[in-house]
Amino acid sequence: MVKIGINEFIRIKIVLVCLFVLFQNNALAQQAIFIQPGEGVGVLKLDDSLESINGIMGKIRADNLQKVRSAGGIEMWLLYQDMGLTLIYDYSTKKLKRIIVTSGAMYVEDTNIHVGSDTSDVIAYYDTTHRTTTTDSERKKIIWNYPEMGIGFWIGEQEQTIYAIEVMRRE
């Protein structure tokens, strides 16, 4: 039997606790963040307040904000480019209105669809009879919206891959 002193025992215990904490943090960091059509992305939910968003994401820098006039009024776009997210906040309702995902690391819940997926994946999963298609020639993109599902897919005019996924309220 090997005898160890109290100091060695304490050192071994500290190392084991540190390894446990490190493992737990890595396990949490590797969990997938899912896109939930009509609901949100991860812990971000449609209809969240600006205070709630700041609590989750941290206070955004002014150079990452854009005011945009839309048919529905004035929107504030909060750009988290390093995370692959754009949050669209509605000034009139004071709530999160839409979320645009540009990171391929986030998957649509219960599917393998993500930014970078082929459009055939979307066609295989979503019924095209409930799709509306918008072509934006100026920005060279096509948007396939599924309003009943609360999700849209942005596709480049020349490519057949998704470059953004939009989460919106279900209609």
pLDDT digits (tens, 9 = 90+) for 28-66: 334 468 999 999 999 999 999 988 988 888 887 767 888
pLDDT (0 to 100) of residue 67: 81
pLDDT band at 169 (very low <50, low <70, confident <90, very high): very high
**Rounded mean pLDDT, 153-160:** 86
Tell me the chain's radius of gyration from C-alpha atoms: 21
- Alpha carbons within 13 A on the beta-carbon side of 118: 3
Whether the predicted pLDDT of 167 surpasses 90: yes
pTM: 0.77
Residue 136: phi and psi, rounded to 5, are: -110, 90
| Length in residues, the chain | 171
pLDDT (0 to 100) of residue 45: 95
Whether the predicted pLDDT of 13 surpasses 60: no
- Look up tokens 């904000």; give the residue: 65
Helical residues (DSSP H) of the chain, grouped into ranges: 6-29, 50-57, 119-125
pLDDT (0 to 100) of residue 131: 92
CATH superfamily of 34-167: CAP (3.40.33.10)
pLDDT digits (tens, 9 = 90+) for 63-108: 788 888 777 778 889 998 888 999 999 988 889 999 999 988 888 9
